Every structure is written in C-alpha cells, then in structure tokens.
Structure 1
Amino acid sequence: MTITGIISWCFFGLIVGALARLFMPGRQTMSILLTIVLGVVGSFAGGAISSLLFGSSESLVNPAGWIMSIIGALIVLFAYTKLAKA
C-alpha cells in the first residue's frame, strides 16, 4: 500500500465517520483520529455485510458502497457508545 492509498483511506474514513456521528443521535466525545478509525472499521463492516447479503461487487466505487460504509460505521459507533459507558 502506498502513502497515497493510506491518505485516501484516512480521508474516506474521516468522511464516513463524521457522517455516522452526524446521523447518530446524542453526543459522542471522540477525537478526529477515533472518527477516522470509526469510518475505516465501519467501511469494512459495511462491506462485509454487503458481501454477505448481495455478493461481491466488481466496481471499486459505487453509491451503495458509501451507504453500506455509513451503515457499518453506525453499527460500530452504536457498539462503541454502549461499551464506552460500561
């Protein structure tokens, strides 16, 4: 993986993580780094859910991938908030 790929994943994770935090009700106290990690992990979770439900996709960038990434990030954020309170 090149430095450009790493920067792209960080930027993508920041966008997806920020959107998940925007859509999740309540206040989440997270740093920018945790938001990036949330977005990247949520993207992998959304991709796994999508692959299980619909099979794999040949295209690298598609709107459904963004939607599933945000849904995955919402699931990860929900689990994070529940575990952080415990």
Structure 2
Amino acid sequence: MSWLWVIIVGLVLGLIARAIIPGKQHIPLWLTILCGIVGSFLGNAVAGWIGVAETRGVDWTRHVLQLVGAIVVVFLVDKLWRTIRGNKAKRGSGQRA
C-alpha cells in the first residue's frame, strides 16, 4: 500500500508543479510522476535537515518543501527532455546535431 501512496503523491505533486511552471511542459505523464516522487523525497530530506520533518498537526512546511522540490525537478527534467528529444528529432530528419 505504501508504494501506491508514493505513486499518488508523485502524481499530485508532479501535476501541481506542471500547473505552476509557466508555459507547456513536454514530458510524458510517467515522467511527471517520477519527478513528483523525486521532488517529494527531496522535500522530505530538506525538511529533515532543517528540523521540520515531524511537527504536531499538518506538516505544512514539509509539504511546501515537497512541492518546491517537485517544481525544481519538473523544470529541470523538462529542459533535459526537450534537449534530448530535440537532438533525436534533428538526427531523424537528416540534419546533423
């Protein structure tokens, strides 16, 4: 059951991150989920480092850090995805990269 929650959280964080980042992202849904998962782990790590991983009530700081992590990861992966896919498209059309 915990893996299911990891995937759901990754999906939600990834989609929110894509909605916040201006412009259109060109990464597929499966990669959005992975970016959300990685962003969640990064946010949890930062929350642990600054001492706010466990608080009473809702852990708003940890959740915001997870979202910030997802935004950063989605942004960087989208740039990398466009670069990689752009180079493949150029080679496929007979142009040299």
- Separation in 2, partners of 1:36, 1:76: 11
Structure 1 position 55, deviation (Å): 2.2
Q: What are structure 1's unaligned runs of at least 5 residues?
A: none
- Separation in 2, partners of 1:67, 1:22: 15
Structure 1 position 85, deviation (Å): 3.3
Structure 1 position 15, deviation (Å): 0.5
Secondary structure of the corresponding residue to residue 30 of structure 1? coil
Equivalent position of 1:76 in the other structure: 73
Aligned residues: 82
Kept in 1, the 8 Å contact 2:26–2:78? The answer is: no
Provide TM-score, normalisation by structure 1: 0.79
Equivalent position of 2:15 in the other structure: 18
From 29, 32, 35, give the equivalent of 2:26.
Answer: 29
| Per-residue CA distance 1:2-40 (angstroms, 9 max, x = gap) | xx1111111111111100000001111222211211110
**Does the alignment pair 1:41 with 2:38?**
yes
Structure 1 position 58, deviation (Å): 2.8
**Does the alignment pair 1:55 with 2:51?**
yes
Report the residue type matching 2:48 in the other structure. S
Structure 1 position 56, deviation (Å): 5.2
RMSD between superposed Cα atoms in Å:
2.0
Higher relative contact order structure (alpha carbons within 8 Å, sequence separation ≥ 6): 1
Provide TM-score, normalisation by structure 2: 0.71
